[in-house]
Each structure stands twice: as structure tokens, then as C-alpha cells.
């Protein structure tokens, strides 16, 4: 036993241990086994934080436009469901404009021929949803309700003598409904364009149907543009 002990002591004294290699070996083993030195704390890099953190959109207007699009989709689905018994469905559309966006409501969806009274319950519900969304848009956003007709004049037995009165009355009717639903009067206006702003030909019935419409035109406020308007028409006339 003494000889064996002396033999192992001799082998130990003849061997040399490389501390660096031992450290690397331990590190390699720890990495392979997913063992982290220093307890359970880990250091998370900035890149990893950026990759794991979701990007939150701050564009509130875009969010509201998406909500309006969803409301339009539901409205059109209701119209398609009713089309099986009532004929062709009137489609509500949403289009982008240079300074905002436009919701187009077919007149047949809102009014009876020659009338400016909104009687469709689905349309009234849709306008209520639009009014709620308008309240959540930035305060600088304004709305113009625009009435349009085809080139066929209203019935002589009706209350309106021409398309100017009919288109204006329909625009005001939609405006008043939005006011009842809580839209700020300072942010809304109405105008009638009669048959003088068509989007399709008046030579066909389908074209005339497209021209009979009410548009909700949303305008984004542009404070920078206000500084460009330094003189009104009256100011210029006085200067002359």
C-alpha cells in the first residue's frame, strides 16, 4: 500500500495542470448543459429586448379608419343578406382622399325616391357608429356631409323644386342625425351639389344610381396651411 501511495504521489508531482484549459473546458461544459454561472440572473442584450418588444402603433386616426372599415363591412353584409328578398344590395364604400377619407352612402340606402327623410333603421344604426368613431378622432378632424343627385329632377308633386334643394336637404338630414348622435357641431358642415358632381354617366340607370349618394368627407386638420391664408376674398376686394 505504501508503494502504491508513493507511486501516485510521484505521478501527481510529474503532471502539470493548465488552469486556462480547465476554465475553458468548464465553460464549454456549462454552455452545453445550459448552466449559467452566477445563479439564475441573465444579461439580456438590447437587440434581444428590441426583438421581443412589440411595436405599438400610435396612429389613432388609422385605428379609427379601421373601425369604420369594419362597420362598413358589417353594413354591407346586412344589405347582402336582405338583397335576396329586396333585390340588389346598396353598397357602402370607403375611399382614401388627398386630405382625408370619404364614406359613400347610396341614396337608396337612406331615402325613398324624392325624399330626404332617413327611414332605414340599419342606416340610422350605422350613422350612430360613425358618430361614436368621430368623437374619438383628433379634434382637428372635420366632416363635410355632401349630397348628390342624378340629372333627373325631383317629382313636381314633391316638396323640392329642384335637385339643389333635394341634395341639400338630404345632406342636412344626415348632418342632423349625426348631431343627435353627439357629433360636435363645430366639426361638421353640409352642402348640396345637385347633379353637378357626378361619378358616373347619367345616360344609364346604373350610372344614375351611383350618382344619387351622400358622401361623408373627413378632413385632417392642417395647422400649417392656416398661415398661408393671410387675406380673405373681402380683404383683397377692399385692397383693390
pLDDT in tens, 177-210: 999 999 999 999 999 999 999 999 999 999 999 9
pLDDT category at 89 given cuts 50, 70, 90 is: low
| Backbone phi, psi, residue 209, to 5° | -65, -40
- pLDDT band at residue 98, thresholds of 50, 70 and 90? confident
Q: Give the model's pLDDT for residue 67.
A: 76
Per-residue pLDDT for 227 more than 60? no
Q: State yes or no: pLDDT of 43 exceeds 70.
A: no
Per-residue pLDDT, 191: 98
CA distances from 64 to 119, 146, 154, 240 (A): 27, 21, 37, 46
C-alpha distance across the termini of the chain, in Å: 126
- Express each pLDDT in 64-79 by its tens digit: 677 777 777 777 777 6
What distance in Å separates the CA atoms of residue 168 and residue 193, rounded to the nearest whole number? 7
CA distances (Å), 238 to each of 151, 205, 234, in order?
39, 49, 6
The bridge status of strand 213-219 relative to strand 93-97 is unpaired
Which pLDDT belongs to residue 86? 55
**Total-model pTM:** 0.65
CA 189 to chain centre: 21
Enter the C-alpha cell of residue 168: 341639400
Higher pLDDT, 107 or 44: 107
The beta strands (E) that lie in 3-54 are given as none
What is the pLDDT of the chain when averaged over all its residues?
76
What are the start and end residues of each CATH 3.30.1330.60 domain in the chain? 60-222
Q: What is the pLDDT of residue 208?
A: 96
Distance (Å, rounded) from C-alpha 23 to C-alpha 143?
Answer: 72
Give the strand order in the sheet containing 213-219.
93-97, 100-106, 213-219, 142-148, 188-192
Mean pLDDT of the region 74-88: 65
pLDDT at 33 over 50: no
The number of C-alpha atoms within 13 Å of 203 and in the hemisphere containing its C-beta is 1
**Radius of gyration (C-alpha) of the chain in whole angstroms:** 36
Distance CA 110, CA 127 (A): 10
DSSP state of 139: T
Architecture of domain 60-222: 2-Layer Sandwich (3.30)
233: confidence class by pLDDT, cuts 50, 70, 90: very low
pLDDT value at 237 more than 80: no
Q: Which is more confident, 157 or 29? A: 157
Mean pLDDT comparison of 12-16, 78-82, 93-97, 198-202, highest-scoring range? 198-202
Task: Please determine, for residue 137, whether its predicted confidence score (pLDDT) is greater than 90.
Answer: no
Q: How far is CA 125 from the centre of its chain?
A: 19
Amino acid at each position: 500500500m505504501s508503494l502504491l501511495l508513493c507511486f501516485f504521489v510521484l505521478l501527481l508531482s510529474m503532471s502539470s495542470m493548465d488552469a486556462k484549459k480547465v476554465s475553458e473546458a468548464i465553460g464549454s461544459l456549462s454552455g452545453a448543459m445550459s448552466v449559467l454561472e452566477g445563479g439564475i440572473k441573465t444579461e439580456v442584450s438590447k437587440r434581444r429586448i428590441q426583438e421581443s418588444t412589440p411595436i405599438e402603433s400610435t396612429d389613432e386616426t388609422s385605428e379609427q379608419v379601421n373601425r369604420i372599415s369594419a362597420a362598413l363591412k358589417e353594413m354591407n353584409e346586412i344589405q347582402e343578406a336582405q338583397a335576396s328578398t329586396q333585390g340588389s344590395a346598396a353598397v357602402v364604400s370607403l375611399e382614401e382622399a388627398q386630405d382625408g377619407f370619404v364614406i359613400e352612402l347610396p341614396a337608396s340606402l337612406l331615402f325613398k325616391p324624392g325624399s330626404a327623410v332617413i327611414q332605414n333603421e340599419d342606416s340610422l344604426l350605422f350613422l350612430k357608429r360613425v358618430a361614436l368613431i368621430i368623437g374619438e378622432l383628433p379634434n382637428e378632424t372635420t366632416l363635410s356631409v355632401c349630397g348628390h343627385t342624378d340629372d333627373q329632377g325631383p317629382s313636381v308633386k314633391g316638396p323640392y323644386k329642384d335637385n339643389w334643394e333635394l341634395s341639400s336637404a338630404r345632406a342636412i338630414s344626415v348632418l342632423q342625425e349625426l348631431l343627435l348622435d353627439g357629433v360636435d357641431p363645430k366639426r361638421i358642415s353640409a352642402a348640396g351639389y345637385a347633379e353637378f358632381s357626378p361619378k358616373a354617366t347619367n345616360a344609364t340607370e346604373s350610372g344614375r344610381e351611383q350618382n344619387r349618394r351622400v358622401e361623408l368627407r373627413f378632413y385632417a386638420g392642417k395647422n400649417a396651411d392656416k398661415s398661408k391664408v393671410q387675406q380673405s376674398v373681402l380683404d383683397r376686394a377692399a385692397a383693390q
